[in-house]
């Protein structure tokens, strides 16, 4: 996915544009939601990141990366219990 390449080649704005295009074409594309959430988190937009991580988990309940990143977003939002719950939820999924 181009968004992934752009993100890791230090072009997050272009990556976000690619992820948004992918989601316009296929709204249920879990990895596009996950990639978009990583970009939001990278810029410190943790609420937006959390929304996208939650959508990723809704679409792919076994996606360990989404739970891992979701817990970080929750920590940055000072929701430590939520972060522990995210870890526990993955353990029971």
| pLDDT digit string, tens, across residues 14-27 | 999 999 999 999 99
The CATH number of 2-92, from 2.160.10.10, 3.20.20.20, 1.25.40.10, 1.10.340.30, is 1.25.40.10
Domain residue ranges of the chain, discontinuous segments joined by +: 2-92
User: What is the SS3 assignment for 78?
Assistant: coil
pLDDT of residue 33: 94
Burial of 50 from C-beta contacts in 10 A (0-12 / 13-18 / 19+): buried
pTM of the model: 0.84
| Region of residue 10 (left: phi > 0; alpha: psi -120 to 50; beta: else) | left
What is the chain's mean pLDDT, rounded?
91
Q: What is the pLDDT of residue 47?
A: 96
Write the pLDDT tens digit of every residue in 17-57.
Answer: 999 999 999 999 999 999 999 999 989 999 999 999 999 99
């Amino acid at each position: 996915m181009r968004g992934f390449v752009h993100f890791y080649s230090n072009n997050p704005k272009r990556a976000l544009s690619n992820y948004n295009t992918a989601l316009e074409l296929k709204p249920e594309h879990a990895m596009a939601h996950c990639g978009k959430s990583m970009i939001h988190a990278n810029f410190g937009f943790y609420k937006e990141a959390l929304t996208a991580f939650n959508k990723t988990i809704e679409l792919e309940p076994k996606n360990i990366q989404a739970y891992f990143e979701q817990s970080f977003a929750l920590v940055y939002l000072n929701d430590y219990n939520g972060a522990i719950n995210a870890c526990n939820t993955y353990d029971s999924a």
